[in-house]
Amino acid sequence: MKLTVRQEHDLTWLVSEILEAHGFVCQVSPPGPNGGVDILAGKGPLGMGAPIVVVKVKSQAGPVDTKVVRVLHSAWEWHKADQALLVARGGVNGPAKQQIRSDSKFRIWDGATLMAELFYAYDDLPLETKRRIPLTQAWVLDEDAIS
């Protein structure tokens, strides 16, 4: 299943709603230049508790490069965040992946991971989001697991 994004910012809002379903409080930056942070997420009632996560969301179909990772790293340092998340629908290229893997505080959600997170959090998403992305769960028998 491909996620169709009408506007890049729609994906940012979807990611924030998934994070909120995981218990985060999110601040979403307005469209346009944002200093490398599309979402600032934290725990607690005000979203200021640990972990604080800076999130960069890229909706492009192709992989992002190390420039995006450097921008996210700068934002992570600027906000003194605990963790950073790069959501790249088209994935990341080899050098960018290597750069992220060198830091244990950084994670990547590529298109497949984003979909898995959407499926996991779906029941806890706002009703309006469920109306925009109507999903039906289907169970399939795993015949290989039957003894």
Mean pLDDT of 50-73: 95
Residue 14 resides in a domain: yes
Q: Is residue 1 part of a domain?
A: no
Confidence of residue 8 (pLDDT cuts 50, 70, 90): low
Distance between CA atoms of residues 64 and 139, nearest Å:
34
103 belongs to a structural domain: yes
Q: Looking at the 3D structure of the chain, how many domains does it have?
A: 1
Long-range CB contacts (within 8 A, 24+) of 43-46: none
CATH of the domain at 91: 3.40.1350.10
Residue 34 belongs to some domain of the structure = yes
CA 38 to centroid of chain Cα atoms: 10
Determine the Cα–Cα distance for residues 2 and 80; give it in Å rounded to an integer. Answer: 34
pLDDT recorded at residue 4: 45
User: Please, what is the end-to-end C-alpha distance for the chain in angstroms?
Assistant: 31
Range of the domain at 23: 8-145
- The model carries a pTM of 0.86
| Whole-number pLDDT of residue 147 | 67
- Residue 28, domain member (yes or no): yes
Within a domain: 2: no
| Host H or E run for residue 99 | helix 94-101
Residue indicated by tokens 């340092």 = 77
Of the pLDDT bands very low, low, confident and very high (cuts 50, 70, 90), residue 7 is low
Residue 39 lies in a domain: yes
32 found inside a domain: yes
User: Widest CA span of the chain, in angstroms?
Assistant: 56
- For the stretch 119-147, pLDDT in tens is 999 999 999 999 999 999 888 888 888 86
